[in-house]
Amino acid sequence: MSKALRLSEKWFHRGLWVVALVFAGFLIGLGGTIVGDLPKVEQRATLDDFMDRAAATQARQTVKDATRAGQQAREALEQAQLKLKIAQADSQSARETFGNWLATRRATERPEQDRELIERTARLDALKAAERSAQAAVEAQQQAMLDASQALTRAQARLRDMERDAQDALRKAERAQELRVFLYRLALTLPLLVAAGWLFARKRQSTWWPFVWGFIFFALFAFFVELVPYLPSYGGYVRYIVGIVITALVGRYAILALNRYLERQKQAETLPDAQRRQELSYDVALARMAKGVCPGCERVVDLKDVKNDFCPHCGIGLHDHCGHCQARKSAFARFCHACGTAARTASAAAPNPLV
């Protein structure tokens, strides 16, 4: 149709399409913000909401205490092991010194050294006792560490059992919450889609068509982009079923629209030639002829053939002759392209006897 429009009218149309797109963009931004905020109407459930809070708190505290006790036992064990090594080194050194001294004592066999033998033996016994004490401290810390580890394991197992029991309930609650939020979105976007369908069917060629098309773009985006990604899957069944339903509805509408169009075309082809040309829009007729199709039935016609003054398919007049200069011109032209004379009125239109 753009070939039949005035130059300024083309630019106005382009500007109005820009208005439609800008209007749709702002609507999409507003709709996206609303759809994005819809989950906030639902309080998000947590795992703790489905657990015995007192038991869970006690188990978590036990885990913390056992972890702290295990860390303290580990640090104390490291200190005890260091002290044990020192005590073992002292005891080993004393035994070696005592062995050397004892060998000397046997070689010399001096009776006055018996008292020193008793003292050295007593010191050696004291070092051995210190070593045993250090070993006992190490074993005590190892026992404490083992107790803390076992307590931690038991507390963690108890906490895991409670979380596992609560996990199933949480998943059910999340699915129910997701479904509710989806229904909120559906309740918001479905009426928009219905309104867009009505506007497309009734108002897309009205004076306010830029806003109509902007709203249509917004409704389509809100439904197919803002809603479909949140569509519950349930293994793909819901999405495939919804896709089938939407395809069936759109297909049914297209089939009915096609049948209605064909019926209108059949009825129009039975009308007189003059009446059919009167009912055709001037711009539509010129646009169709520019594409090489009949303005009446939209079938392909060789308009370059000078003998094709009428459509061979529906019989509508395509060319006639100027009443002033007899130039061959389009039957839908308002003025003669050769002399500029106004075209004959539809009531006076008749085949020229010179054709």
Q: Which domains does the chain have, with CATH numbers?
A: 2-44+182-269 (no CATH), 47-178 (1.10.287), 272-355 (no CATH)
pLDDT tens-place string over residues 172-187: 887 787 777 778 888 8
Q: Nearest-CA neighbor of 328 among 343, 312, 313?
A: 343
Residue that has been written with the tokens 């205490």 in this structure: 65
| Torsions phi, psi for 319 (to 5 deg) | -135, 150
| Integer CA distances (angstroms), 111 to 98, 105, 114, 115, 116, in order | 17, 9, 6, 9, 10
Task: Return the pLDDT at 344.
Answer: 67
Q: From residue 245, how far is each of 209, 216, 248 by CA, in Å?
A: 29, 20, 5
Closest CA to 329 of 316, 318, 342: 318
User: Which amino acid belongs to residue 104?
Assistant: T
Beta bridge partners of 267: none
Q: What is the mean pLDDT of residues 149-178?
A: 81
Q: Which two tokens stand for residue 343?
A: 């075209």
Other Cβ atoms less than 10 A from the Cβ of 227: the count is 19
For 214-269, write each residue's pLDDT tens digit: 998 888 888 877 777 666 666 666 667 877 888 898 888 888 888 888 888 777 77
Give residue 233's pLDDT: 65
The token pair at 19 is 């208005």
Beta bridge partners of 329: 320
CA distances from 276 to 269, 273, 282 (A): 8, 5, 12
Long-range contacts of residues 292-300, Cβ cutoff 8 Å, at least 24 apart: 294/318, 295/332, 296/268, 296/269, 297/265, 297/269, 298/265
Contact 67, 152 (CB under 8 A): yes
Round to whole Å and give the CA distance between 198 and 212: 10
pLDDT band at 353 (very low <50, low <70, confident <90, very high): very low
32-51: burial string, b at 16+ Cβ within 10 Å, e else: eeebeebeeeeeebeeeebb
As a whole number of angstroms, the distance between CA 154 and CA 149 comes to 9
Q: What angle do CA 58, 64, 70 make, to 5 degrees?
A: 130
pLDDT digits (tens, 9 = 90+) for 310-337: 888 888 888 888 888 888 888 888 888 8
pTM greater than the 0.95 cutoff? no
Per-residue pLDDT at 117: 63
What are the helix (H) ranges across the chain?
Answer: 7-37, 53-108, 114-202, 209-221, 237-269, 273-279, 282-290
Residue 333 corresponds to which amino acid?
Answer: A
CA dihedral 262, 266, 268, 271 (to 10 degrees): 180
Residue bearing the bigger pLDDT, 96 or 301: 301
Q: What is the pLDDT of residue 52?
A: 74
